[in-house]
Amino acid sequence: MATFIINNDLTSQPYPNGKGSTDPNHAGADNGNPQKVESNHKSAEDDAAYGFHFSGPEKLPEEQSIGTDLDADNYLHFRYFEATDKCLFVIRRQKGTNHPQWLRDPNNHKHDIDLKPSADLKQSSPSLLDSPRAQLAQLLGQVLSNAAYASSTFDPPAASDPPQANFCFNPHPGNFRYWWGPPIEQCNSPMYRQFDDGCTHYQVYNRCSNSWDGRINWAICHPPPYH
C-alpha cells in the first residue's frame, strides 16, 4: 500500500464528493452504517463549505495561528469567514500531514444538507452576530475541546507497495466512484475511491472532529493513459 500526503494548498478539496458518484453496492461497502451516514452528511457539508468560501467572490481572510507554531510541519492555524456565514476553517498540521476541519456557526445553516435552506444565509439568532468576536471565541473553544478527537489520527498499516506504485498520481485524474468501508473505530472511517482506470485508494474521515486525514492510501495502481 502506497501512502501519499496531499499538498499543503488547502484552499481546494482535491476529491470532492460532487465530482464522483456513490457506489453503495460495491463489495465491502458499509454505507448503511449509522456512523457512515453521519460521516457522509458531514463530509458533504465540508464540500459545500469549500465551494462557497474558496471558489466564490468572497475575499479570503488572513490565515492566523492558534498558539505558537512548532515548525513548518506542526502548527494550528485558522481562517475566520466573518463577512459571510461565520465559518471557521481550521488547519491542523501534525508531522507534515494536514487535518483540515470546518466549524460552522450553529446560527447559520448555509451548508446544512439536511435542512435544505434557501439560497440566502439563514440566521436563527441575529443577536449573536452583533458580536462576531464573541462568536469567534466560541468557535475557537470548540477547536480546543475537539483537540483529543482531532489528534486521534489514523496510522495506515505497514504493507508493501501495490503493483506499479509509481503510477499512483495524486491528485489522480479522471472520474471516480466512492463508498465507505467499515469503521476503523468510533471516529475514523475510510472512504474508498475507484477511478475509471481501476486505480483505487482510501482516505480517512474523522466524523468526531469533521476532519479529513490528509494522507491518500493507494491500494491499486495502473499505468497511464488515464481516462
How many structural domains compose the chain? 2
Is 225 domain-assigned? no
| Rg over CA atoms, the chain | 18
Q: What are the backbone angles phi and psi of residue 144, rounded to the nearest 5°?
A: -70, -35
Same domain, 91 and 127: yes
Nearest C-alpha neighbor of 78 from the set 89, 67, 87, 62 = 89
Q: What torsion do the CA atoms of 167, 168, 174, 178 make, to the nearest 10 degrees?
A: 140
pLDDT of residue 97: 87
Judgement on whether residues 132 and 80 belong to the same structural domain of the protein? yes
Do 116 and 194 lie in one domain? The reply is no
Region of poorest pLDDT, from 12-26, 158-172, 181-195 = 158-172
When the pLDDT of each residue in the chain is averaged and rounded to a whole number, the result is 75
Of the candidate ranges 55-69, 111-125, 165-179, the one whose mean pLDDT is the lowest: 111-125
**Does 142 lie in the same domain as 54?**
yes
Residue 110 lies in a domain: yes
Residue 22 included in any domain: yes
Considering only 16-25, 97-106, 146-155, which range has the smallest mean pLDDT?
146-155
**End of a domain among 150, 177, 206?**
150
If asked whether residues 89 and 128 sit together in one domain, one would say: yes
The answer on 175 and 101 residing in a single domain is no
Give percent above pLDDT 70 in the chain.
67
Of 122, 51, 35, the closest CA to residue 85 belongs to: 122
Which residues lie below 8 Å from residue 88, measured CB to CB, with a gap of 6+?
78, 79, 80, 81, 102, 103, 104, 105, 136, 139, 140, 142, 143
C-alpha cell at 161: 507497495
- The overall pTM is greater than 0.85: no
**Is residue 78 included in any domain, yes or no?**
yes
130 lies in some domain: yes
Give the C-alpha distances (Å, rounded to integers) separating 16 from 12, 66, 91, 159, 191: 9, 27, 18, 27, 12
- Residue 70 and residue 93 share a domain: yes
Task: Please tell me whether residues 48 and 106 are part of one structural domain.
Answer: yes
Tell me whether strands 176-180 and 20-22 are parallel, antiparallel or unpaired: parallel
Structural domain that includes position 73: 42-150
* 141 and 178 co-located in one domain: no
Report H helices in 34-131: 34-54, 126-129
37 lies in a domain? no
